Structure 1
Amino acid sequence: MTDEQIFDKTRSIIYDNMINGEKHLDDQVIHFHYTKPAPGRYPYQFFWDTCFHVFILTALREYEMAKSHLRSLLSLQEKNGFIGHMIYWDRLMPGRVTDFFQSRPHLRNLYKSHMSALIQPPLIAQAVERVYNFSGDIDFVQEVMPKLKTYYHWLRQNRDFGGDHLLTIISPFESGMDWKPTFDVPLGFKPGKADWKLFLKQVSVDFRNFVNNYNLRRIYKQGYFRVKEVGFNTIYAQNLKAMATLCQLMGDKEEEHFKQLGREVDKSILEVMYDEKDAAFYDVFGKDNQKIRILTPTIFYPVILDGTPEKISKRVMDTHFFNDEEFKPDYPLPSVALNSPSFNPSHSIYIWRGPTWIVNNWFMHKFLMEKGYGEEAQKMIDSIRALIGKSGFREYYNPFTGEGYGARDFTWSGLVVDMINMEREGKNLKSQSANSH
């Protein structure tokens, strides 16, 4: 496929998966407008999926649509700032057993649109910043800022259990990377090939949370799943800085608060999650922040942060990113190291345990372009072009053969259009620089 065909297909998938409607809730009419990640399989409005869709929509120059998606995501926000990782609009009852216990056991959930009780990586500040950077709509920023501030305050007040500025997830599904092999350890599952025992252990976490009515203090004290996940906290750090930028635009006095909190999160990621011996950033769990020494792409995520020294970023990349035995198959990045006992490159219900997901490449691509890894950035985007050309827009791919698995017409693969735009901008800047000399 040519780049223009990729853009056209991405636009078509986004439109085909788009949902528009309105609900009468508590004497008010709420308009919702979102994109399903895939037809049929994922019918709800998901938190970080919506943010991904904003990046895709702005890359497609669909600014008003991007704003509508964000308004919809914020529309059911609770007064204390909480936003669930799924919003059930037209389908009130979850269709999968793994979803059922992710909402509070309230009778109203059987007949009214509602949210889940879990969270997802807090990408929304960057999504709003992205809309502003592309559209220049300061009024939109002003419109959503009160809700954004309340949301990030809720996260700090309710999920920084240890007081070290890092956020804790209480379910594997909160990471956005379901069945990630690092979660095997706190679940008490011996790292290796997934089976029905792992399924029961993971679902039982949400069942226990459900029984506890998602009372966070009670859940924290019981401590059956308390994980500080690297990807989640890296995104948190990024978005605190985005909040500081948005506050600066608005002349908001909380700019310094978000800026300082972002620095503290950077510092804690380095102190708590970085392992000097292994040159990797690890997820940690429990009261003592025990490192989970399993290599997944999130070991790279903190290299993008301002608070990570360049020598550490380079060491992590040199040790693992360019390691043929770990993260360099034909179609990178695999969702766990190739030499991990958990690695399974094929289709499975236990996703994020081997196959390639385009989102990991998207997350790293900008860093590679800006930090002098131009050749690797080019290989990465060419690999994604090849995957889409071979297997279409799929949920995930075999890292050796490129065969597509999971949902078809999966929107996340459309993140490639954002990468293509960055590639074009980089080439234009180089061309302008060359001409100026």
Structure 2
Amino acid sequence: MHLKKVIRHIVVLILIINFSCNNSKELIKKDKGFTFLNHSENILDYTVSPNNAFDKTGLMFSDQGAWFAYSFPDTTSNYGGFSGPFLMTEQNGIWSSANLSQLVLKNVVWKSVKTTSYASHLEQVFKSDYLELTQQLVFSSGHTAIIKSTITNIGKETIDISMHWKNQPILAESLKFISTKNEVLIKSSKSNAIGHFIFPTGTSIKNTDTTYSTAAENISLKPNQSKEINISQTFIFPEYSWEDEKEALGTISFDSVLNTRKNEKESQISALTNNLKPKFKDSIYENVLAKTHLTLQNNWRVAAGKLKHEGLFPSYHYEWFHGFWSWDSWKHAVGLSYYNTDLAKNQMKAMFDFQSEDGFVVDCVYRDTTIENHNYRDTKPPLSVWAVVKIFKKDSDIEFVKEMYPKLKRYHNWWYNKRDHDKDGLCEYGSTDGTLIAAKWESGMDNAIRFDDSKILKNEVGAYSLDQESVDLNAYLYAEKLYLAQLAEAIQENHDMKMFKEDAEILKIRIQNQFYDPEDGWFYDTNLEGNNFIKGEGSEGWTALWANAATQEQAEAVKNRMMNAKKFFIKVPFQTMSADHPKFDPMNGYWRGPNWLDQAYFGVKGLRNYGFNSEADNATVKILEGAEGILGKGKSIRENYHPITGEGLNAQNFSWSAAHIIMLLSDS
């Protein structure tokens, strides 16, 4: 018996040692110098093998504002390259190829594949009985991705290998391939962006109009010997210099670029994590912040075409979101301010590049207006000053404030000049073309029930209002006055500072008196005369709390309704309308029930403004746990969520949802 116990202990000890060694190997694979970067490991699932040019079944990885992105092939038959790239340089996003640069090793049978993604790069490892192929992809700029392939002999004998590159074409009729020396050019009939695909010197290339391949190259590897091969893929618009980009590529190494990206992402995710509220300092929420960071990164685009500054798409994944929207931009900028104020500032400038002389800011703009025209039919709710103040608090860039202040002031005044039908100091949503649909769009809450019976009224040529005064619009304008006062003080515009503070006090009383129904304990829109509420509890009801425009007593009543489990405190709290309303229909109503995380954030922040911090904390946890795929790895952050089931709805990889998760979790 004693001998059996000894043997059993020895076996257990061996197992423990073996387990420890295996774990040590795993730890070695993680770079110990990149603690925060490791939160992004496989946080999104980029596995997809597109079967047609317009396939949107999976997610794509992008960086540095590039207008193209990549994924991992989902089968070992596609070994030796990355899916794509997915080109946002033309149409509303197409796959250039199933695998534009497949590295083929003749007669090698791969037994396993492991894919790993980080915010900094993609990596995949293929293994056969005697070979290992490691491939890493990193963006060196907003125009170029570099792919490093390392072939290693893991066997015990010297092996000879025949290798070549080939394309796996799918239907992309607009693309034409042209080879010159060790380069493949890719031109498009639908875009002025040119693809430049650089192979190692001496590579022999043959092509047709629709594809290419390279001649075979033979290499010999001794046991444990490796061969490294770098290629680059560039997609560049004519406003940038390909010659400069090519020269830069000739002076950098893959490893230095990768290390730069790792350090960059480490710093950014660290900045986000350091802003976590004490209650949320946990790896679960640190991982969530890594997901928000990567969501925004994947939607980042450099300036091109009609877009004069870099910024973020709402979602690259949805074909009609390949542009910049105004109130999306304000929200993106606030989220970005926590870790990248330069990009946040450019996101703001991108929309004000299109400001009219009278102060109007366009609703949305696009790189290529032959695909989609800018929308001048309406603007969006006034949250731009809020965004600039948030950025200024992060980096104290007074020159940015000086640049933006007169533009922000003109935009603020535009509302009173063009959207106050009865000139009573309370504004309405409206349109420039006199259409009711554009006026509803201007609210950002397109088909909310409060607009079901709205009518359009003419103010003057090119300026129309709805026949109702909206509580959220005037709450935003109240907040803007106070934020403008802060900026005016920063640049010593003391007259403006005093004026905006005085105007804000007057407006606050108007909001408290006109839009609040003491019987219901809720804020509603009203008719123009202000003597009839437009009933139906919606998320606009707590914007007065977000803006700090309510009394404490009013806030208490609104809070009680928000925390009611039959109304707003359901699985994913603080959705766009009360769950007990007969028109509540999340699956068939874009703004008639789904939970939009911007509105949920306004609700949580409104609670905090009035000291209801425990309720705000509970709601935050419930939102993040209830909304499908926010916590955990793999699934993307969605445009909105079903508030009862938690199902993610509409667009994937949605920027303002990610931005508002950052705000929900952050300390300021």
Could you tell me which amino acid in structure 1 is paired with residue 645 of structure 2?
T
- Cα deviation for residue 214 of structure 1 reads 6.2
1:81 corresponds to 2:371:
no
Q: Please, which runs of 5 or more residues in structure 2 have no aligned partner? A: 1-42, 44-283, 431-438
Query: 1:337/1:259 Cα in 2 relative to 1: closer, same or farther (>3 Å)?
Result: same
Aligned equivalents of 2:530 and 2:473: distance in 1?
19
The match for 2:566 is 325
Post-superposition Cα deviations, 1:124-172, rounded to whole Å, max 9, x if no partner, equal 1111111110011111101111211121122222212222221111211
Could you tell me which amino acid in structure 1 is paired with residue 454 of structure 2?
P
Q: How does 1:364-379 map to 2 (within 5 A)?
A: 364-379=603-618
Query: 1:281/1:167 Cα in 2 relative to 1: closer, same or farther (>3 Å)?
Result: same
Could you tell me which amino acid in structure 1 is paired with residue 332 of structure 2?
H
- Cα deviation for residue 75 of structure 1 reads 0.8
Checking the alignment, whether the CA contact within 8 Å between 1:41 and 1:407 is kept in structure 2 is no
- Cα deviation for residue 315 of structure 1 reads 2.1
Pick aligned residue for 2:335 from 49, 56, 74: 56
The match for 1:31 is 308
Q: How does 1:137-148 map to 2 (within 5 A)?
A: 137-148=397-408
Structure with greater strand percent: 2
1:419 corresponds to 2:660:
no
Pick aligned residue for 1:68 from 335, 346, 360: 346
Could you tell me which amino acid in structure 2 is paired with residue 314 of structure 1?
E
**Which shifted more, 68-77 or 308-317?**
308-317
1:15 corresponds to 2:297:
yes
Q: Secondary structure at the match of 1:31?
A: coil
- Cα deviation for residue 313 of structure 1 reads 1.5
What number of residue pairs does the alignment pair up? 369
- Cα deviation for residue 281 of structure 1 reads 0.9
Pick aligned residue for 1:46 from 311, 314, 325: 325
Aligned equivalents of 1:115 and 1:248: distance in 2?
34
Checking the alignment, whether the CA contact within 8 Å between 1:185 and 1:292 is kept in structure 2 is no
Aligned equivalents of 1:138 and 1:144: distance in 2?
10
Query: Identical aligned pairs, as a percentage?
Result: 25
Alignment RMSD, CA only?
A: 2.3
1:267 corresponds to 2:509:
yes
Aligned equivalents of 1:255 and 1:153: distance in 2?
15
Q: How does 1:229-248 map to 2 (within 5 A)?
A: 229-248=470-489
Q: How does 1:310-349 map to 2 (within 5 A)?
A: 310-318=552-560, 320-346=561-587, 348=588
Aligned equivalents of 1:214 and 1:333: distance in 2?
39
Could you tell me which amino acid in structure 2 is paired with residue 358 of structure 1?
L
- Cα deviation for residue 22 of structure 1 reads 3.9
Post-superposition Cα deviations, 1:325-355, rounded to whole Å, max 9, x if no partner, equal 2112111112111111110132x3x301111
Checking the alignment, whether the CA contact within 8 Å between 2:543 and 2:606 is kept in structure 1 is no
The match for 1:382 is 621
Q: Please, which runs of 5 or more residues in structure 1 have no aligned partner? A: 25-29, 95-108, 188-204, 426-437
The match for 1:103 is none
Aligned equivalents of 1:288 and 1:356: distance in 2?
29
Aligned equivalents of 1:288 and 1:234: distance in 2?
15
Could you tell me which amino acid in structure 1 is paired with residue 412 of structure 2?
Y
Q: How does 1:28-427 map to 2 (within 5 A)?
A: 31-39=308-316, 40-59=319-338, 61-92=339-370, 94=372, 114-170=374-430, 171-186=439-454, 215-216=462-463, 219=464, 225-252=466-493, 253-287=495-529, 290-318=532-560, 320-346=561-587, 348=588, 350-386=589-625, 387=627, 388-389=630-631, 392-414=636-658, 415-422=660-667
Checking the alignment, whether the CA contact within 8 Å between 1:263 and 1:307 is kept in structure 2 is no
Q: Secondary structure at the match of 2:294?
A: helix
Could you tell me which amino acid in structure 2 is paired with residue 90 of structure 1?
D
- Cα deviation for residue 299 of structure 1 reads 1.2
Aligned equivalents of 1:115 and 1:43: distance in 2?
13
Aligned equivalents of 2:548 and 2:407: distance in 1?
26
Query: 1:181/1:13 Cα in 2 relative to 1: closer, same or farther (>3 Å)?
Result: same
**Which shifted more, 41-50 or 261-270?**
261-270
Could you tell me which amino acid in structure 1 is paired with residue 631 of structure 2?
G
Aligned equivalents of 1:116 and 1:261: distance in 2?
29
Checking the alignment, whether the CA contact within 8 Å between 1:117 and 1:214 is kept in structure 2 is no
The match for 1:101 is none
Aligned equivalents of 1:213 and 1:274: distance in 2?
30
Query: 1:296/1:306 Cα in 2 relative to 1: closer, same or farther (>3 Å)?
Result: closer
Q: Secondary structure at the match of 2:450?
A: helix
Aligned equivalents of 2:398 and 2:444: distance in 1?
30
Could you tell me which amino acid in structure 2 is paired with residue 17 of structure 1?
N
Aligned equivalents of 1:121 and 1:291: distance in 2?
21
Checking the alignment, whether the CA contact within 8 Å between 1:48 and 1:124 is kept in structure 2 is yes
Pick aligned residue for 1:4 from 275, 279, 286: 286
- Cα deviation for residue 286 of structure 1 reads 4.3
Query: 1:326/1:237 Cα in 2 relative to 1: closer, same or farther (>3 Å)?
Result: same
Post-superposition Cα deviations, 1:108-135, rounded to whole Å, max 9, x if no partner, equal x6xxxx5523121100111111111001
Q: Secondary structure at the match of 1:342?
A: coil
Aligned equivalents of 2:478 and 2:447: distance in 1?
24
- Cα deviation for residue 288 of structure 1 reads 5.5
Q: Secondary structure at the match of 1:407?
A: coil
